[in-house]
Each structure stands twice: as structure tokens, then as C-alpha cells.
Amino acid sequence: MEERNLICIGCPMGCPLTVTMEGTEVKSVTGNTCPRGDIYARKEVTNPTRIVTSSVLVTGSRTGAKTVSVKTASDVPKGKIFEVVRALKGVTVEAPVKIGDVVVSNISGTGVDVIATKEVE
Amino acid sequence: MEQYNVVIIGGGPAGLAAAKAAYDEGERSILILERDSLLGGILNQCIHNGFGLHTFKEELTGPEYAKRFEDEVRARGIECRLNTMVMDLSSDKTVTAMNRTDGMFQIRAKAVVLAMGCRERSRGALNIPGYRPAGIYSAGTAQRLVNIEGYMPGRKVVILGSGDIGLIMARRMTLEGAEVQVVAELMPYSGGLKRNIVQCLDDYGIPLKLSHTVVDIEGKERVTGVTIAEVDSKNKPIPGTEEHYDCDTLLLSCGLIPENELSRGAGVEISPVTNGPKVNERLETSIPGVFAAGNVLHVHDLVDYVSEEAADAGRNAAAYVREGNAPETENGTAVTFEGGIRYTVPSTVDTEKMKDLMTVRFRVGSVMKDRIVKVYANGEEIFKKKRRIMAPGEMEEVLLRKTELQKFGGLKTLKIKVEEA
């Protein structure tokens, strides 16, 4: 039996959650005061994921923009965040860029594309 | 002099939503004045996700959220003048502005929507002792440098204040290779959203020290270190609790202040609590035909509510142009409050002129658990809702129904009260 402590992000209460696990199986969630805490805790201990956002350099912008903001098109495993950001270092795209344009496909082998979140002319 | 029916000062989320709503209300003579070279305001540098959950039911980044509203404004052919700085607003709604192509010019507006947003509290306003070296930035300046200009402002960072921008920048700087050593917060609670504390600090092992402040900044040319100390219940540093951090950068995320130089110049009455205009049920300031919405009115934590509020202001501005200012039947009923509420927006309600369902937004001054928010009209309870927790960093709201308030004939008192459950 392993115990993990989390703070729920569902609302400002910030309930201190204790998750009891056996291997990768969640045995119990305590400390939550509503069902949202239970759902959050189970996801967070078994498969924590995040959208990663960053910005990369852009060249040839008519408006003089130096960067374009980007994000992973869907969640990536939390443990991969630094790898994803490192893989974006040195990436340069050429203007024009539209929202949703793929900047790097299958970043760090996650199967997830990094896409532009800003339009640059 | 040029004439427009509705002039909107500011092309950020508030200005865009106001313009769209005014157009959809039937108004066609609308002008947005924006000092930056692009629309969208501060959303352009907020590249993290989490915007638009209420409005679009999905998590957008700041630029994506801004683009949706910009597209709506462009699709309607609403005129926008970029790179245009408004210098003055007069009480007769003459707007004096300037830009590089037209020089200085004046516009006579029938209605004005104030949508100038807010500014970060600066070091000068915080009275932090110590030297004045380079390397001290507001969190928003650092955000602009990293996300828009593509520069890293520093490598070894201490952050004072746990506002959302500071938390977001703790993560951003960490991801870009900086070492964020600590976030110090003067108050015994964070002003930021819980989600940001977990996902921006806890995820990266960055400590948050509550009831701590910076008591010294060292370095002559560039910051070389800061000293933080714990504070007592009166926010005075406790001797002997000092801790020194070697660092080259100090970020400040210590609150936002509505930007009301233009409003003050026009003679708009300003609330000393919000630092924004006092407004009635139509979000109209003390000058008839001048409306306010978004962070210039009071600082919001979610952009969705900025858009919602600004759309109301835009509709009301269009209605004002169409109908003229209906003669004041009465001055409206003052909204009073008790039980830890700091302010309400609006501060007065006229039951004749309010819309059918009106949102009253407010903030509390401290963290409170297990409360009931009640609304009393002429002393009679007309609404209540339970709140498990209320915090200064999270805006609260109650909805008021016109039919319910009109039942009282003459509404004499309207009170919002937070009571123990």
C-alpha cells in the first residue's frame, strides 16, 4: 500500500486528498468533500497529463512579430513536459502562420502535434 | 470634428466584446481605439491555456480566445484604429486621440465604453527597501519579454506576490530553463487560483511562502540577491526570520489596478475600493452615456466574465444612443453589503432600467468557509445560495430578477449579505 497526497484543483477549497494505491490500482480517495475531488485524484495518480504551452521564434513576419505562441494539440504525460519544451528550443517557423498550423508533429514521440495558437502575418 | 455613436476605448477582451454586442444591438456607427499594434490586449501574451471554459466550453490559450472575438468584430466590419493613443476624454464625450498617420484628432461620441483594462502594481507602489538595480520586473513585463519578444529576463528568480500572473510566470520561466527559487506572498493566503498553485508551483517543486515579504534587494547594477522575511498579523516583518536568496531577477505579482486616468480626467466618479468607476445597473458611470466594463471597472480573475460584462456595456451603450438618456425617474437604489463583502458592481440598481436578469458581481476581503450569500430587498430575503468557500481571489456573483425586485413597488433597500451557514 502506497499513499499519495494531492491538493484538489476543482475549486478554491483546495481539499487535501490522500490516495491509497496498490501498485497502479487506486484503493481509496479520502479528504475530498465532493465527487470532483475523487475524479481528479484518480486521474492525477494514474495518468497525470497537461497541455504544454510555449512560444517559438518566427521569421519573415510582415508585422515584425518575433515569436508565435504554440501548444500541444492535446494533453501529454506530465513526465514529458520538460522533454517537449526542450524539443521546441531552436524551432523556427516562417510567417505567415495560422492558428492550428502544425509547428512540430509528434513531439518527443508523444504522438501529439504542437500547433500554433496565434496568427502571424 | 468626426462623429461616432459609440466609441470604445481599448481593443482588448472588454472592448471587443462591447463592440460586437453594440453592433448586434443594431448600432452601426462604432469605433474601437487601441494603442497597441494589434487587437486582443493582454491576452496576446497570455499564451497558457485555460481561457474560455465558461464561454466556449473548451480551454483556449489567450491568443486563441482573443482571435475568436477579433474575428467576430472583423466579420461585422467594425472600424478599429490601432496604434492610437487616447489622450483625453472630456465630460461632453469628446475623445482626443493621436497616432502616427493622423496626428492629433478629436471625435465627438454619443456614447463611450471605457475598456482600458488595468496595470500591475509597481515596485514604487510597494515600498520595497533596498537598492534599485536592473532585474526587477513586474510579472507581466517578464511575460511579455518571454512570450512576445523572445528574451529571458533572468536565470535565477525570486517572485514576490502569488497573483495568477506570477504563478504562471513561475512555471514559464522554469520551463525555459530558469531556476525559480521561491514565491513569497505577504498575505496568509494566495491571491491566485488553486489550479495555478498546483499546476505552476507544486508540479515543479517551487515553494510558496505565505505571510512572507521581501525586506531587502541587493545589487548595484543588477540584482544579486533578495532577503525575505515572515510577517506578523499586521504585515510587519518579524526580526530573526530573514532568509537570503542569491538571484538575478525579482518578479513582482502584487495586484492589479484599474487604469482610470482618462476616466478621472473626464470627471467620472471612482470607487476608492475597486479603483474603478462607480456604475449603475447598466454599467453606466456618473457621466450619462459613459459606460465601463472589464478590468477598468474592477479586476476580474476570468476573462469569460470580462467578455460577459463588456457585452452588457456595449448593448447598453447602443440602447443609450437609440433611446437617449431616459429622464431619471429616481436615482436607483444603492446596493449595500455586509459580512465581509468589499464591494459590488453595480453599486446602484434602478428597477425600471435594469435588464430582466442582472448579475451583481462582488468580492470578499478574506477566506471564509461554509457561508450563505443572501439578498434582501426592503428587508425581505429574496435569494440565497450556499458557498462552501469564498476567497478574495475569486469573484462572486448573484443574479437579480427584475420581476422579483419590481414586486416591491418602490425598492428602498437592496442588501447583499454573507452569513454563516
Are residue B267 and residue B362 in the same domain, yes or no? Answer: no
pLDDT at B195: 84
Q: Is B400 helix (H, G, I), strand (E, B) or coil?
A: strand
The answer to whether B67 contacts A118, with C-beta atoms less than 8 Å apart, is: yes
B310 and B337 within one domain: no
Please state whether the peptide bond connecting residue A77 to the residue before it is cis, i.e. omega within 30 degrees of 0: no
Return the axis-axis angle of helices B62-75 and B303-323, rounded to nearest 10°.
20
> Do B174 and B221 share a domain, yes or no?
yes
Which pLDDT value is given to residue A12?
A: 66
Question: Are B76 and B143 found together in one domain?
Answer: no
Banded model confidence at residue B99, pLDDT cuts 50, 70, 90: very high
Do B409 and B334 share a domain, yes or no? yes
Determine the pLDDT at residue B325: 64
Q: Which three cell numbers stand for residue B349?
A: 440598481
- pLDDT reading at B328 higher than 60: no
* Spatial separation of the C-alpha atoms in residues B267 and B270, rounded to whole Å: 9
The string of DSSP codes covering B168-188 is HHHHHHHHTT-EEEEEEESSS
CB < 8 Å to A71, chain B = 47, 49, 61
For the whole model, what pTM was predicted?
0.93
> Do B134 and B214 lie in a common domain?
yes
Amino acid B130: pLDDT: 87
Q: Which three cell numbers stand for residue B350?
A: 434602478
Structural domain of B135: 122-254
Q: What confidence tens digit (pLDDT) does each residue in B337-372 have? A: 999 999 999 999 999 899 999 999 999 999 999 999
CB contact under 8 Å between A12 and B37, yes or no, is no
Rounded to an integer, what distance in angstroms lies between the CA atom of residue B132 and that of residue B146? 22
Q: Do A9 and B195 touch (CB under 8 A)?
A: yes
Name the domain boundary from B254, B280, B313. B254
Residue B46 cell numbers, joined: 497570455
CA distances from B15 to A54, B32, B157, B270 (A): 26, 7, 34, 20
- Are B74 and B136 contained in the same domain? no
Domain boundary among B283, B304, B325: B325
Which among B222, B254, B286 is the end of a domain? B254
Question: Among candidates B32, B46, B15, which has minimal Cα distance to B82?
Answer: B32
Q: Is B145 exposed, middle or buried (0-12, 13-18, 19+ CB in 10 A)?
A: middle
- To which H or E segment does residue A45 belong? helix A35-46
Query: Which residue's entry shows cell 528574451?
Result: B151
For residues B360 and B310, membership in a common domain is answered with no
On whether both B172 and B220 belong to a single domain, the answer is yes
Distance (Å, whole) CA B194 – CA A85: 24
Asked if pLDDT for residue B103 goes beyond 80, the answer is yes
In chain B, the percentage of residues whose pLDDT exceeds 70 is 98
Write the CATH number for B217.
3.50.50.60
Q: Which residues of B295-312 are buried (b: 16+ CB within 10 A; e: fewer)?
A: bbbbbbbbbbbbbbbbbb
Q: Find the mean pLDDT for residues B167-188.
A: 96
Mutate to test the interface with B, among A53, A83, A84, A88 (most CBs of B within 10 A): A53
**C-alpha cell recorded at residue A121:** 502575418
Both B316 and B338 in a single domain? Answer: no
Using an 8 Å CB-CB cutoff, list chain A residues near B67.
Answer: 99, 118-119
Q: Which chain B residue has the Cα nearest residue A50?
A: B199
pLDDT along chain A (121 residues), means of 10: 86 84 90 89 90 95 94 94 94 96 96 96 92
**How does the average pLDDT of chain A come out, rounded?**
92
**Low-confidence winner among B52-56, B185-189, B284-288, B334-338 (lowest mean pLDDT):** B52-56
The pLDDT, as a whole number, for residue B329 is 54
Could you tell me if B321 and B335 lie in one domain? no
Residues 6 or more apart whose Cβ sits within 8 Å of residue A76:
A49, A50, A51, A52, A84, A107, A108, A110, A112
Contact A85 B175 (CB under 8 A): yes
Contacts of B47 in chain A (CB under 8 A): 53-55, 69-71, 117-118
Count of domains observed in chain B:
3
- Structural domains present in chain A: 2-47 (no CATH), 53-116 (3.10.530.10)
Question: Hey, are the CB atoms on A51 and B59 less than 8 Å from each other?
Answer: yes
Q: What pLDDT is attached to residue B274? A: 96
pLDDT in tens, B6-42: 999 999 999 999 999 999 999 999 999 999 999 999 9
Give contacts of A69 with chain B, Cβ < 8 Å.
47, 61-63, 147
Number of Cβ pairs < 8 A linking chain A and chain B: 83
B242 and B147 assigned to the same domain: yes
Contact A7 B194 (CB under 8 A): yes
Stretch B164-180: mean pLDDT, rounded?
96
Angle of the B13-24 helix axis to the B62-75 helix axis, nearest 10: 30
- pLDDT digits 0-9 by tens, A9-22: 877 678 889 999 99
pLDDT tens digits, one per residue of B253-285: 999 999 999 999 999 999 999 999 999 999 999
Cell numbers standing for residue A116: 500554433
Q: Does position B324 have pLDDT exceeding 80, yes or no?
A: no
Tell me whether residues B150 and A57 touch, CB distance under 8 A: yes
Smallest CA–CA distance, residue A78 to chain B, in Å, is: 9
Task: List, in sequence order, every beta strand (DSSP E) within B60-102.
Answer: 60-61, 79-81, 85-89, 94-99
